[in-house]
Structure 1
């Protein structure tokens, strides 16, 4: 029989419980038996030991990492995970962010995952640094069409192909351009059986790995007409993910391009459980902030300077 009702819980009692647990290595059940109290009370006392300053927890090496800042960003923006590369220069920002993203992704891929990619330099660097791992029944797909006037390594279809080789996974390609000349051509493509089958894979994605584009860049999409670009700017577009544009608050911006773009539907994109944004540098801060505010991503890999800005902004 425990003695919870008469146990006084003096400061010495708290110290004794802490000593048993942290120094002597006793379990909570053993402490409860020794002190003739319930295990639940032992648990409550151990928690209060920290609040009372009797126990101070230190983690060796934590001050040499960005763990504190990562946790603050996770809490501030409601993110599942944040990973921060070191303080790096503009010249190697894509390389270092890609390396950090590769290490994170390698640790979370599970059997049966379907992983969708967008395009870009960060995505390409991620593939370059991705460890060679083997996970059963993983499929890799593209979240948007490709185009031919890019460097080969940053095209989405090439990224999907190289990544699937790295992790010994199957791949599904769209075999379609990201931007076509007119809505009728887009309609014809998305009604083809090959596209329908590929898109069903996209809708089943468990992980999306995406770059975050700067909507003020005139090269944001191939064959983008001057009037399309000016329309986005007039409507205050700051960022783009998979050819979906949004403003500084993350509000989606409908554009004339929507009728000509071949990409994952926005509702289907938001249904993907893990949406990892991989982006950094000063020029992309408005786009990253918009993506966070709009919930386009729920995990983030970025650089230290960008992370500090995101933490400080109101």
Structure 2
């Protein structure tokens, strides 16, 4: 009983993850998971679920209805300041992944702030007991963009959290010409990672317009001419650096051919593609991604989804 209390204290009050606690108590991580479950069963830990989580069910059903999603998680965020919304949505996405993940699955990871927040939240969860997890980088490196936001860093971090194996792509994600992409794809190692990415069971995707924030995203090969072309073509969002307009159409074939990542078309063949995004990532980026159809699940916040539903209903009314 004393050890159970210690483990519960370290996990719930000191916010340590299971791997850290396992080293202190000198047991395996799977034993820590069982001890946390036992602590709840013994009444050492009591968890209260607020009934406000039910308030967004109608929005979740509307998302599934309008965009053919398998699932949707809409987080009530009226009581949160804007800076906290990404964290709350990231936590909801982490909980969702933890609820569906199974042993021996492959998880693909893209890049961006929302994916970062989700993976950061995984550290504090009572993780499902799994083995044989593989985590695959879905896009190459993006120049001088913050390391914490890049796919290789996020994939490696998630594999560590899940005691899995990471498959990293040692190549740039966006290059100066399509011939270079073709040559990189022919490399045995890079080609193998891309193939693993096409065959993951779950893909974690951000949807945003981060490329417009030059202080955050610094990709040398994304030129001013490229930015002008994306604006001209009405780019509202990107996922794995695949740029699309409000209707989900790829904006520029010439730019798309310079990206070394899984394509939006290839994502449609993956069993479960989870999009994580908030109004801070822009509503248009999320709406365009939904209309493209590569998502199976969306995790977002109440205010954002209300706007998405409003815009989609208005669009359908005007086109009927």
Q: Is the TM value for this pair above 0.5?
A: yes
Match of 1:182 in 2: 177
The root-mean-square deviation of aligned C-alpha atoms, in Å, is: 2.1
- Report the alpha carbon displacement of residue 186 of structure 1 after superposing the two structures with TM: 2.4
How far residue 121 of structure 1 moved from its aligned partner, in angstroms, is 1.0
What is residue 305 of structure 1 aligned with on the other side? 303
Kept in 2, the 8 Å contact 1:218–1:229? The answer is: no
| 1:72 match: secondary structure | helix
Correspondence for 1:106: 98
* Equivalent position of 2:190 in the other structure: 195
Could you report, residue by residue, the CA deviation over 1:56-83 in whole angstroms, capped at 9, with x for unpaired residues?
xxxx947853223222322222111111
Cα gap change, 1:242 to 1:176, in 2 (>3 Å):
same
Which residue in the other structure is 1:222 paired with? 219
1:156-183 Cα distance to aligned partner (Å, 9 max, x none): 1110011011111111111111112333
Are 2:127 and 1:149 aligned? no
Name stretches of at least 5 consecutive residues in structure 2 with no aligned partner.
1-49, 314-320
User: By how many angstroms is 1:153 displaced?
Assistant: 1.6
Note closer, same or farther for the CA distance 1:184–1:263 as it changes in structure 2 (3 Å cut). same
SS in 2 for 1:107: helix
> What residue number does 1:271 align with?
269
Aligned pair partner of 1:118 in 106, 110, 130: 110
Which residue number corresponds to residue 72 of structure 1? 62
Counterpart secondary structure, 2:196: helix
For structure 1, which runs of at least 5 residues remain unmatched after alignment?
1-59
User: How far did residue 133 of structure 1 move?
Assistant: 3.9
Provide the TM-score with structure 1 as the length reference: 0.75
Spell out the pairing of 1:1-314 with structure 2 (5 A cutoff). 61=51, 64-87=54-77, 88-130=80-122, 131=125, 132-214=127-209, 217=212, 219=214, 222-223=219-220, 224-281=222-279, 284-313=282-311, 314=313
CA distance in 1 between counterparts of 2:218 and 2:61 reads 34
The higher radius of gyration belongs to 1
Equivalents in 1 of 2:118, 2:300: separation in Å?
12
CA distance in 1, matches of 2:224, 2:208: 18
Q: Is the 8 A contact 2:233 2:252 kept in 1?
A: no
TM-score normalised per structure 2 = 0.74
Report the Cα distance in structure 1 between the residues aligned to 2:245 and 2:223, rounded to whole angstroms: 20
Distance (whole Å) between structure 2 residues aligned to residue 259 and residue 72 of structure 1: 34
Contact 1:81-1:300 within 8 A present in 2 as well: yes
- Cα deviation per residue 1:230-286 (whole Å; 9 max; x = unaligned)? 111111111111111111111222343223221113332221111111001155101
Q: Deviations over 1:24-64 (max 9, x none)?
A: xxxxxxxxxxxxxxxxxxxxxxxxxxxxxxxxxxxx94785
| SS state at 1:236 partner | coil
In 2, Cα distance between equivalents of 1:215 and 1:119: 10
Distance in 2 between the 1:202 and 1:64 partners?
A: 35
Deviation at 1:210, TM superposition (A): 0.4
- How many angstroms apart in 2 are the aligned matches of 1:255 and 1:218? 22
Q: Quick check: 1:232–1:255 contact (8 Å CA) kept in 2? A: no
Deviates further, 181-190 or 141-150: 181-190
SS of residue matched to 1:209? strand
